[in-house]
Structure 1
């Protein structure tokens, strides 16, 4: 004759509801992670993409390496930044559009030179 302990019998009687309740903390942690980390990062990426697509010739920008310049040429993949002037000739650097970190207000570069 086998005797089943009362604790085992109660846990077996609880059924699938207890299994679902054990995953509840994991589900809650994922929800918190989504709203505190994933969602804001996706929003920043969307804003950056919109800013890069709206770039125009003459905009003053900061590149991801800290380089400041004025856009002199622009195409679908690359921009040409005028970073300085050597006599009559401008010093230009070619960058990928995605390398633009932020857009500066017009006239900012005149104040820094």
Structure 2
């Protein structure tokens, strides 16, 4: 019923099917690798730098918040930062709200 030619090529067709599955998955794998190096890895690096900056905060540092408030750190706790934004005006913020540490002398409370 089945000729010898068909019976002999059947295992070769199965092997080719496995190879075509790999070549079909290859673009998907390459896209994930490219996305990792272009998007995921740089974001992880920025998060690590931000965490290190927050850990290094000290009393007297001049900072800017995510909301645009600029002030000098007056008190620190594990989760909270007290910022002096004007003479006698102090606000309490979460540490994660600090977006950057400014160079010394940037913030002048007399100008506010």
The TM-score normalised by the length of structure 2 is 0.84
Structure 2 CA distance, aligned partners of 1:112 and 1:103?
A: 19
Equivalent in the alignment of 1:66: 68
Number of residues paired by the alignment? 105
Q: Which runs of 4+ in 1 moved over 2 A?
A: 9-13
CA deviations over 1:25-73 (Å, ceiling 9, x no partner): 0000001100000000000000000000000000000011010000001
Per the alignment, do residues 98 and 11 of structure 1 end up closer, same or farther by CA in structure 2, a change over 3 Å counting?
same
Gaps of 5+ in 1: 3-8
Report the Cα distance in structure 2 between the residues aligned to 1:18 and 1:31, rounded to whole angstroms.
20
Instruction: Give the root-mean-square deviation of aligned CA atoms.
Output: 2.2
Q: How does 1:42-61 map to 2 (within 5 A)?
A: 42-61=44-63
Which ranges in structure 2 are unaligned for 5 or more consecutive residues?
3-9
